[in-house]
Amino acid sequence: MSRIAVGISACLTGREVRHDGGHKHSRYCTGVLARYFDFRPLCPEAGAGLGTPRPAMHLRLDDGGDQVRLVTVRGGEDRTDALQDWVARTLPGLGSLRGFVLTGKSPSCGLERIRVHGEDGRVLRRDASGLFAAALRSAYPLMPLEEEGRLNDDGLRENFVERVFFLDDWMEMNERGLTPGALIAFHTRHKFQLLAHCQKRYRQLGPLLSDLRAAPLEHIAREYISTAMAAMERRVSRGAHVNAMQHLAGYVREGLEISERRMLDEQIQAYLRGEIPLVVPMTLLRQAQRRRPVAYLDRQDYLRPYPDELGLRNGV
């Protein structure tokens, strides 16, 4: 399996590019995710030529109160233009990435909850994004972005990885050539995933594909993937997984002994009560499918949205 191209803040890979000359090495990224993701490290501040080590910086509202600037904490030297020049040069080359892991709390890379200071140093807001993270989100709204610290949460980690694999499948399909058949096949193999993530959007996607001559295919595909990625961003509740698994179970039930059906139902209910992780009922469904394959389910990514070795379904 070829690894998926994913961007990463360079300090997370162990590179000593932080303002103090240190790093923020993430062993989970370089040790586990790197087996599947071909990480492309970038450091906006080093790339912008701000030097390492360099003075600590933060976001500050300018005099007029309408522009957020990147300035040194001591002395208030403005580094915004250098950083934005690098961003403008670099962003166009990032279109092939399927996701990006960012360092939190950074005025350049932080995705959320970044502080904005006033001229006197007081914190005015805590809801900004770092300048690079904001530009990345705006240029590539479909790209899954996550802060490394949030990958410690089982649900957020699972959701991020699933979205990367989902987007990778979409981009590969487009690279092979968008056709009506390819679009329908994509939707078919991701139906149960989409159903689990967001029923409302799942119901919008079917009609969108019902008449592929209603508009140019590229327009339909654009609307489809923006709705689908919005659905995938929603974390799946236990109830929503149970609903999707019960739909799946309807296909494999015929091939099961009575005792096996009972076991499957019991394990789905135990999962709903939070007594066991998702991997348990999902394994039973996969065993049933393997024993008596149903062609339709063979194409369902919900049964294996990412490599089992990541162990992500043990934690949700």
DSSP per-residue letters across 142-157: TS-EEEGGGGGSHHHH
Is residue 80 close enough to count as binding ligand SF4 by CB under 6 A? no
DSSP per-residue letters across 45-59: HHHTT--SS---EEE
> Least Å distance between CB 127 and ligand SF4?
19
Burial class (CB in 10 A: 0-12, 13-18, 19+), 221: buried
Q: How far apart are CA 173 and CA 44, in angstroms?
A: 31
3-class secondary-structure state, position 300 = coil
Binding track over 101-120 against ligand SF4, x by CB under 6 A: --x--x-xx-----------
The site for ligand SF4, by CB under 6 A, has a size of 13
Is residue 129 close enough to count as binding ligand SF4 by CB under 6 A? no
Is residue 26 close enough to count as binding ligand SF4 by CB under 6 A? no
Q: How far apart are CA 139 and CA 145, in angstroms?
A: 12
Among 4, 6, 7, 18, binds ligand SF4 (CB under 6 A): 18
Q: CB-wise, 11 or 59, nearer to ligand SF4?
A: 11
Q: CB-wise, 18 or 98, nearer to ligand SF4?
A: 18
Structure tokens at 176: 């092979």
Q: How far apart are CA 50 and CA 268, in angstroms?
A: 54
Is residue 229 close enough to count as binding ligand SF4 by CB under 6 A? no
Is residue 9 close enough to count as binding ligand SF4 by CB under 6 A? yes
Is residue 45 close enough to count as binding ligand SF4 by CB under 6 A? yes
Residues that bind ligand SF4 (CB under 6 A): 9-11, 17-18, 43-46, 103, 106, 108-109
